[in-house]
Chains A and B, each alone.
Chain A
């Protein structure tokens, strides 16, 4: 048993080393560093390879925050050539650290530029996703909230569950939405009212949605989730479009990419028609490109919110920690 194991380890080490040294320059391979939620329609990258000769190799690297931090840590010797998944909350940090290189993609003018962070063409919007309240109409008996203010109404007492903004990205987005809505001086008062009205706080989306939300297993009919979530629930739930906060997910060519020219082609592909057409189905987000049709069930159950809240990336970067700390004291303290 032990001898077999040792032999296997030795074999594995040998193949590992040989794989490492055989990365010949002729192979046109582009490493795409992504967040964990990245998925792509089967065969799409194969089509891309047939058309361009470029092999795309995705590497998942945590959620948006983890990904950004990993990119910053490895900027001297990046993990790949292109990165996708840095979102509007973390974009400022990535730009300040010089993680991304400038590149004007010809595809960016087709809609992605609507969401650009600054004028430097380093980050390109690939998709947008909105964090909104989701409700379970069956359990609300006709009384449905339509705005942030409605949640403080006594008829929604003990009905809302939110995620902790310190440990959850939708939780943070919801907090930022209330800050955008009520201003830096008004949000604390609003959260005081939510607390008085029995808001429940859990640490992550999984608990909130799978355990507390009445449409799944819990008892609370209002939950912080995504605008797209109802499309997965067959019309049983609804997003409250007056309570949305927009998150944009960006991609860019990494500074110090080993294969810059091909990396730019991959970026064009991410912004192009074919890739954009499948982001809704694959990642539960909305394409950044204009004129891309949403899946049928989305048009009915999960339309893109028209007037979401948002905050400038710089402001989020500078105040995030303080806001979360104040929120912690106010709501949990």
Chain B
């Protein structure tokens, strides 16, 4: 499609467009360069300068770590995709009561602190192991699949599928040969993100792997933070980086082949009550949702039960600074900090993410080869250890005005690094699926490129944008890795407060930690429901 569109323009105009888009690409690249590449390169090169990197690279142990890291991430991704697809179907295609709540509920696992989820899984698998690691990783990421795939699915035209059915294809056949190929870019996007999250998951592996199972991420953490073996950490970071880039390039190649323009339509037009066979899918989705909510219910129960019976003491303690002032602020204040910080992070990520997605599509249409490079670069922050980024900030950010290392802006900026790739991945499939002919028609009628974007692209992707913003917001709410390195003691976020309460003796502190988890869930559901209501009215007509 891109090629056909390009053919309509004059060669000179095409070159101008390509140069323009390439220039525009510099903005997201500058953001990435300043807040990601510079710190990471600085800390890794510090390790490299110490020498001894090759010995770490040839150690058999390193390759065992690589094998286990990639293996568990791949298994977790498969589980998350299989569990997420039925949920995506229900969210996108079905007209059932209470869908908004389901949409909010599947987001809840994403914000829960890993140590809490790890402990919840340990009640079923007291000794940990590979299976609980895979399931816990999948547990966190079902929402990524449901949201990313659901976002595209909700707008893909039903007529092709109906035509296939009318021509005699069975429902599964129609799904496999018509629906799935159309969804492939979103499935690929989601799988890539989930894979990166799982490959770098830290808390889950630490709590559930006990001492037997280790990943590159946990080893990088140990070497950087506990052993101060920067050269070993640098070597492992390079290995992790290479593995991540390899996976991203494979993903980009897969996406490229499957790219199609789809006729996008409004969800209201497409959603209908499920019929016969579809109820099985709805049933599967219900099973997934129940499975997701089981640990959540366990946490809520835990927040209410004490050794001496039921109690609201943990919830009452949220208004305090914990047992004997464990915290610098009250639980409520921490929740407000979370809400504010996540707002800033989402704002930054939306600006950078949407801008990047637009640039990516523009680059593609104008035939720039730069697109895949930028696309891959935007994903990298998900695949690099939070400790590497955090320690990198220490050795670089003092060069920015006002010693940026201790700036309150660092937390939202670091969170934005994690959120931006998600926004790009959610918006891009929809943006790319916008039919070029609509844009050409608008241009032919005299619309400027900006006007084309405003009148054609924006209404079509508006809803995905809102969904992406909501998702990004929730991710920022639950972000722990980067935040724990950068948060200032006087303004901790809820996940930081929970981790701190969990690390103190005293029943009231752990009660309060679980109550804070419940509060985090309530805030999450509240935010998702609120954002769902904020749908742009003008985008109703597709």
Instruction: Decide yes or no whether A120 CB sits under 8 A from chain B.
Output: no
Q: Mark B208-223, 1 if CB is under 8 A from A, else 0.
A: 0111100000100010
- By a CB distance below 8 angstroms, the chain B residues around A77 are 398
Q: Mark A16-53, 1 if CB is under 8 A from B, else 0.
A: 11011101000000010010111101100000000000
The A/B interface has a contact count, at CB < 8 Å, of 149
Interface residues of B in 312-359 (CB under 8 A from A): 323-328, 343-344, 346-348, 350-351, 354
Given A42-B325, A60-B489, A62-B225, A207-B406 contact (CB < 8 Å): no
Q: Is A74 an interface residue (CB 8 A)?
A: yes
Whether A66 and B222, one on each chain, are in contact in the complex, defined by CB atoms closer than 8 angstroms, is: no
Tell me if B485 counts as interface (CB < 8 A to partner A).
yes
CA gap between A37 and B212 in the complex, in Å: 28
Instruction: Name the CB-closest residue of A to B115.
Output: A206
A147 at the B interface (CB under 8 A): no
- Contact flag A205-B122 (CB < 8 Å), given A2-B350, A77-B398, A328-B211: no
| B505 contacts A233, C-beta separation under 8 Å | yes
Q: Which of B15-23, B130-138, B259-267, B506-514 contacts A (4 or more CB under 8 A)?
A: B506-514
Q: Give the segment of B66-74, B274-282, B496-504 that binds chain A.
A: B496-504
Interface: A6 (CB within 8 A): yes
Q: Are B408 and A39 in contact (CB under 8 A)?
A: no
Return B181 CB to nearest CB of chain A, in Å: 32
Check if B96 is an interface residue, CB within 8 A of chain A: no
Which residues of B lie under 8 Å from residue A167 when comparing CB positions?
206, 211, 218, 222, 226
Q: How many residues of B contact A (CB 8 A)?
A: 65
Interface residue from B212, B225, B395, B505 paired with A74 (Cβ < 8 Å): B395
**Residue of A5, A8, A205 with highest tally of chain B CB at under 10 A:** A5
B505 partner residues in chain A, CB cutoff 8 A:
209, 225-226, 229, 232-233, 284
Residue B60 interfacial (CB < 8 Å):
no
Does B83 count as interface, using CB distance less than 8 angstroms?
no
Chain A interface, number of residues (Cβ within 8 angstroms):
63
B394: A residues at CB distance < 8 A? 70, 73-74, 79
* A69 close to B225 (CB less than 8 A): yes
Contacts of A203 in B (CB 8 A): 206-207, 209-211
Question: Complex: how many Å from CA A203 to CA B114?
Answer: 14
B460-490 CB contact bits vs A (8 Å, 1 = yes)?
0000001001000000000000000101111
Using an 8 Å CB-CB cutoff, how does the interface string of A193-220 with B read, 1 for contact, 0 for none? 0000000011111110111000010000
Q: Which residue of B lies closest to A167 (CB)?
A: B206
> Contact flags (1/0) for B114-126 with A, using CB distance below 8 Å?
0100110011000
Chain A residues near B177: list those with CB within 8 A: none
19 A-B contacts, Cβ less than 8 Å apart? A9-B344, A9-B347, A12-B344, A23-B402, A65-B225, A69-B224, A69-B391, A74-B394, A74-B398, A164-B210, A166-B222, A204-B115, A204-B206, A206-B115, A206-B119, A207-B118, A210-B502, A232-B504, A232-B505
* B324–A211 touching, CB < 8 Å: no
Inter-chain CA distance A192–B256, complex, in Å, is 57
Q: Contact at A73–B391, with CB atoms within 8 Å?
A: yes
